């Protein structure tokens, strides 16, 4: 289950929130860097030790998607064009289905609005399942402390 935090930046105060990542609470601040002319994300433990500091980079857009399954292959039909070249592979994440479809997968673009991915176990869903699909960029992937995403289209952090 993801938690979303609205990013409400200010030039007079530093935006901050306290997520729990992998069972540990952290302090996240988002200072403006005038030289770089962009927002950064700084993650500290509760003792004040800086664990990560990097520019805020957005994840791809989130799509409404309908998932089906047959013979070990899941199909995601999106609400709009995904812009992945036909036959191209992309890391995609299915969420908000509350079913075995949820997870991150390597996906194949089969047409402008359809992606397929391997899902060996039958998710046991008698009808098509609606959820979200996105192409996440984890701001903390190299740090091993949990996942943090920024969705510019929503103006929200997700953890």
Q: Would you list the domain boundaries of the chain?
A: 4-58+138-158, 63-134
Rounded CA gap, 130 and 70, in Å? 16
Q: What pLDDT does residue 88 have?
A: 96
Q: What pLDDT does residue 18 have?
A: 97
Residue 7's SS3 state is coil
Q: What pLDDT does residue 12 have?
A: 87
Q: What pLDDT does residue 14 have?
A: 94
Q: What pLDDT does residue 89 have?
A: 96
Q: What pLDDT does residue 69 have?
A: 96
**What pTM did the predictor assign?**
0.74
Residue 1 has pLDDT above 80, yes or no: no
Share of the chain above pLDDT 70, in %: 100
Q: Is 157 exposed, middle or buried (0-12, 13-18, 19+ CB in 10 A)?
A: buried
Rounded CA gap, 5 and 19, in Å? 9
Q: What pLDDT does residue 16 have?
A: 97
Rounded CA gap, 8 and 33, in Å? 16
Max distance between CA atoms of the chain, in angstroms, equals: 56
Average pLDDT, the chain: 93
Residue 4 has pLDDT above 80, yes or no: yes
Residue 42 has pLDDT above 90, yes or no: yes
pLDDT tens-digit series, residues 121-144: 999 988 999 999 999 899 998 899
């Amino acid at each position: 289950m993801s938690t979303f935090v609205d990013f409400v930046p200010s030039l007079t105060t530093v935006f901050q929130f306290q997520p729990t990542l992998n069972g540990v609470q952290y302090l996240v601040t988002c200072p403006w860097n005038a030289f770089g002319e962009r927002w950064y994300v700084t993650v500290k433990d509760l003792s004040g030790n800086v664990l990560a500091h990097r520019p805020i980079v957005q994840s791809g857009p989130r799509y409404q998607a309908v998932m089906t399954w047959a013979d070990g292959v899941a199909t995601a039909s999106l609400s709009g064009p995904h812009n992945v070249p036909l036959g191209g592979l992309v890391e995609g994440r299915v969420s908000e289905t509350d079913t075995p479809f949820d997870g991150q997968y390597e996906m194949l673009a089969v047409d402008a609005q359809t992606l397929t991915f391997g899902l060996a176990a039958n998710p046991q869903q008698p009808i098509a399942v609606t959820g979200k699909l996105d192409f996440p960029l984890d701001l903390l992937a190299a740090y091993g402390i949990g996942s943090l995403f920024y969705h510019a289209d929503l103006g929200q952090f997700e953890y």
